[in-house]
Structure 1
Amino acid sequence: MESKELGTATKKNNKNFNFIDGIRCIAMITIVMEHAISLDIYHPTDKLGILIVCAWTQLIKFGTICFFLLAGFLIGEKFMVYTPAEYMKRRMGTTIGPWFFWSVVFLLTMLANDLVKAVKFSGGDFGPNYAADFMEHLRAVYLFSNFWFIPNFLICIGILLLFRKYLYSNLFGAILLLLTLFYTVNIYFEWIEPRHSVALFGFIFFLWLGAQINKNLKQFDVFMNKVPYLLIIFLLLVFFVLGTKEELYLTTVKSTDPYNTLRITNIIYSLLCFALLYKIKEIKVISFLKPRETTFGVYLIHFILVASLLPMIFVSLKFSVATLSLGELVLYQFGRFVIVYILTYLIVMGINRTKASWLVGR
């Protein structure tokens, strides 16, 4: 989800980077799809309904880890070229500005909604506890929406920069893996806030792993060419089932975040998805969506439409999601995704044609 690094592969190595466009585009589609489905208003109580929700979320739950792997792959060489200060200056210049702008837009949509409610129902009075409500809005935007990614990513990058001389150390990688596994175990025990969006040190390992793939790309390519598709697909199915079962269990025990990205089954499932997409290399239809030009913008804007536009569209239909049949529910959820993705894509492409293209990382 980075702007420049995910936007432009290194030209001199372009022949080796064909897989990047396919992975980043599919990963972003799954992230938009996950955010667009309305788990917040659909709470099935029957076993079949719960199973369907868990299976669907597990199926599309590989995007975030794939993005960290891609980011690590693309920045590995740059750590050796730029000083820490130079790299962070470039990163802040191309990423923070667009991220801050759209996060403020999202916050303003929340405040505008509060204003409308206050004027309509309370004569313009926001109430005595609005300061607390405002703080909750800040938490919602910067900790529990898509905007968590960039601060978390920059913290991960900062840590790798501090220890960059150990970037290719297996011991360092093992330490980072232990940090990730701490968050994995914490999903069950909740010693600290368990949601993956606040797992500050939970994703550094995947950046490190991506850098190792970059460094050993020829060997990795030879290895992946030897691994049969059927084996990868079989393992994917196994961990899809195990991941769904883990979500079912966490749902049963009332986990705070039963669909957490850092569940051990989902980590392995995500790595297998990355391996399969890498082995496929090029998906020609993906080029039509121009992922290099649109991925960062879609990431920045889509959640605003999910939170602000979709409620306005569907509230007028006046139906209860809980009463929908299985077929109707699938169409409803897929419709939400299609609306959000197409509108977001069109907005990003429109911005790309203006002088404000920096707002989507161009």
Structure 2
Amino acid sequence: MSNSEQDLLAIPAKKNFEFIDSIRCLAMIGIVMEHSIYNGTYIFSGYPPKHILYICLIQLSKFGTIAFFVLAGFLLGDKFTTYSSWEYFKRRLSNTFKPWLVWSLVMLVAILAQRYVAIHKSGDEYHFILELESKIKLVYLYTNYWFIINFMFCIAILLCFKKYLYSFWLGSVLLICSLVYSINVYYEWFLPSHTIAIFGFIFYLWLGAICNHYWDRLENFVSKTNIFIYLTVFLITFVWAVFDITRLMDAKSVDPYNTLRLSNIFYSVATLALLLKVKNFNFTKYLKPRKTTFGIYLIHYILVVSLLPEIFRPFHLVPFKEMSVAFMLFFISFRFLLVYGLSLLIIWLLNKTKLRWIVAL
């Protein structure tokens, strides 16, 4: 396999896991959709139908992060049998760190420039060091770039316990660590942000490895179970997750959309199970997920944060709560298609240059 194919979520050629491509493509669509939809947390008064629709649209896409950890763990379990712990970690770090560093720095420069322009227009004094410190913390702890730091940390932890990778005792300990963050979402003993939950996602990486280890049994079970059971569980967990968000909003939660909410964990697993049941989504092959998934993840958030506001600024659009339902749906759809389409275009253009390595192709 060439270096250009050794991306973050590469598929082992010797195994027929092509369906993972389809599912991770949908997971990435979910992540881009969530970031394209989100326009603030407490932007509505009460729960009019428009607010419920807004919550539902965000929740619909909230399975992506946990799904990615499970899928990565699934493929990780296969790779652990091929390489030594240090060799695997070194290869993974080499193939992901440089692209991640490039795009995270682009993000950092972009938001620093935005902040400079805003302060210059207001006539206030610009303190570069203070702004730099603040924006470094923002980019690497509170944007999508946290994922790679967290992901590599999770891999390192599992590599340390490689001998016990398929031990359910290890899984139990990791589950307890994750549940501490989940319960904290409701009680807020410490800052309940999933982007700094460094121990909160290791369990899902382990869960993916376990799914790989017992794949024959799992696949047999999934194939024999009626799809309506998966659909029913999906709908029940979705409604629970939406209700959970409203309850956290009533409690004035810092992060009512938190990925590690108990309801969202069940929803994410239910969604992943449903996708495994369907398994193949033929349209995804046209999006070439194996070559574009990591690049889209690295690029799309810069477009959401830095490009979209500049595109729509001249139109002086009213806030979401003042939009009609039809226009809000159109606006959200347009934002998503623009971000996803431009991300694909940038990847396609970079792939034709010597800079293709920065999109991990």
TM range (shorter): over 0.9
Aligned match for 1:265, one of 245, 256, 263: 263
What is the Cα deviation at residue 112 of structure 1? Answer: 1.8
Unaligned runs of 5+ in 2: none
What is the Cα deviation at residue 315 of structure 1? Answer: 0.8
Amino acid at match of 1:177: L
- Give CA deviations for 1:100-121 in whole Å, capped at 9, x if unaligned: 0000000011222233345545
What is the Cα deviation at residue 42 of structure 1? Answer: 7.2
DSSP-derived class of the 2:315 partner:
coil
Aligned match for 2:13, one of 4, 11, 14: 11
Corresponding residue number in structure 2 for 1:360? 359
Corresponding residue number in structure 2 for 1:195? 193
Q: Is the 8 A contact 1:18 1:281 kept in 2?
A: no
Q: What are the equivalent positions in structure 2 for 1:63-212 lying under 5 Å apart? A: 63-122=64-123, 125-127=125-127, 130-212=128-210
Q: What are the equivalent positions in structure 2 for 1:1-80 lying under 5 Å apart? A: 4=6, 6-14=8-16, 17-40=17-40, 43-48=43-48, 49-80=50-81
Identity between Structure 1 and Structure 2 (%):
44
Whole-Å separation in 2 of the counterparts to 1:115 and 1:102:
20
Amino acid at match of 2:29: I
Q: Is the 8 A contact 1:187 1:260 kept in 2?
A: yes
Q: What are the equivalent positions in structure 2 for 1:264-343 lying under 5 Å apart? A: 264-321=262-319, 322-343=321-342
1:5/1:24 CA distance change after superposition, 3 Å: same
Amino acid at match of 1:215: H
What is the Cα deviation at residue 134 of structure 1? Answer: 2.2
Q: Is the 8 A contact 1:5 1:71 kept in 2?
A: no
Q: Is the 8 A contact 2:7 2:294 kept in 1?
A: no
1:85/1:7 CA distance change after superposition, 3 Å: closer
- Give CA deviations for 1:54-102 in whole Å, capped at 9, x if unaligned: 2221111100111001100111122233222211210111000000000
Aligned length: 355
Q: Is the 8 A contact 2:37 2:57 kept in 1?
A: no
Amino acid at match of 1:46: G
TM norm structure 1 = 0.94
Amino acid at match of 2:207: L
Whole-Å separation in 2 of the counterparts to 1:11 and 1:85:
22
Q: Is the 8 A contact 1:5 1:74 kept in 2?
A: no
Q: Is the 8 A contact 1:19 1:277 kept in 2?
A: no
Unaligned runs of 5+ in 1: none
What is the Cα deviation at residue 252 of structure 1? Answer: 0.9
- Give CA deviations for 1:258-302 in whole Å, capped at 9, x if unaligned: 011111111111111111111112111110000011000000000
Residue range with higher mean Cα deviation, 312-321 or 38-47: 38-47
- After TM superposition, the runs of 4+ consecutive aligned structure 1 residues lying more than 4 A away are 118-121
TM norm structure 2 = 0.94
Residue range with higher mean Cα deviation, 111-120 or 153-162: 111-120
1:137/1:165 CA distance change after superposition, 3 Å: same
Corresponding residue number in structure 2 for 1:244? 242
Whole-Å separation in 1 of the counterparts to 2:288 and 2:42:
33
Whole-Å separation in 1 of the counterparts to 2:254 and 2:116:
31
Aligned match for 2:232, one of 231, 234, 240: 234
Q: What is the Cα-based RMSD across aligned positions, in Å?
A: 1.6
